Amino acid sequence: MGFNPHFCYMQNKAIRLAFFTALAVSLYVVENFIPKPLPFMKLGLANVIVLILLWRREFAAAAVVAIAKIFIGGLFSGTLVSPTSLLALSGTLLSFTVMLLLICSKLNFSIVGISIAGAVFHNLGQLAMVRLLLITQDAVFKITPYLILLGIATGVVTGYIAYLLHAKLHFGKL
């Protein structure tokens, strides 16, 4: 039984993915305890990890972390079987898709620009799900401009944090 470098690489890859997932879940859970000015307002600190992985073109790892933070974070925060998790999932799937498309495009957005787009579309995905399942009247769309502004603000903050972390820390490839 000799040394198997492929096994070590795969083991290291799994450990790093587990680390990033645990970090994102921790941020997701901790953020639930931060007082919010509005019930639906959340900065989205866990998305910093997803954004960095996307920016590094580690798309599969970013997808795992994005989905795991919702399910594991929902389990730990007690929101897994509530509308909160469904709204988080709908927003995450839409924002992830938009960020992935922008990163793969030739448009050369900055990491902050990608973050802004992700935050705005996260809010819009949640709003669409609210309209579909909870409030079946079109009047719910009256808050769209506010959600776009909120997405821009939170996207700038999370994007800038991701920019700083990506520039300062060495993240080896998963």
* Model pLDDT, residue 139: 84
* Model pLDDT, residue 5: 54
Within 10 angstroms of residue 56's Cβ, the number of other Cβ atoms is 16
pTM for this one? Answer: 0.87
Percent of the chain at pLDDT > 70 equals: 89
Nearest Cα residue to 92 out of 117, 115, 126: 126
**Residue 149 maps to a domain:** yes
Concatenate the DSSP letters of all residues of the chain into one string. Answer: ----HHHHHHHHHHHHHHHHHHHHHHHHHHHTTS--SSTT----TTHHHHHHHHHTT-HHHHHHHHHHHHHHHHHHHT-TTSHHHHHHHHHHHHHHHHHHHHHHSSS---HHHHHHHHHHHHHHHHHHHIIIII--SGGGGGGHHHHHHHHHHHHHHHHHHHHHHHHHS-----
**What single-letter amino acid sits at 74?**
G
**Residue 158 maps to a domain:** yes
| Cα(57)–Cα(105) distance, integer angstroms | 12
**Residue 174 maps to a domain:** no
* Model pLDDT, residue 64: 97
**Residue 121 maps to a domain:** yes
* Model pLDDT, residue 137: 86
Instruction: Report, as ranges of residue numbers, the positions in the chain whose pLDDT lies below 70.
Output: 1-10, 38-40, 170-174
CATH of the domain at 40: 1.10.1760.20
* Model pLDDT, residue 81: 84
**Residue 32 maps to a domain:** yes
Nearest Cα residue to 43 out of 52, 51, 34: 34
**Residue 62 maps to a domain:** yes
Contact 56, 171 (CB under 8 A): yes
- Tell me which residue range forms the domain holding 14: 5-168
**Residue 173 maps to a domain:** no
The number of folded domains in the chain is 1
| Cα(123)–Cα(111) distance, integer angstroms | 18
**Residue 72 maps to a domain:** yes
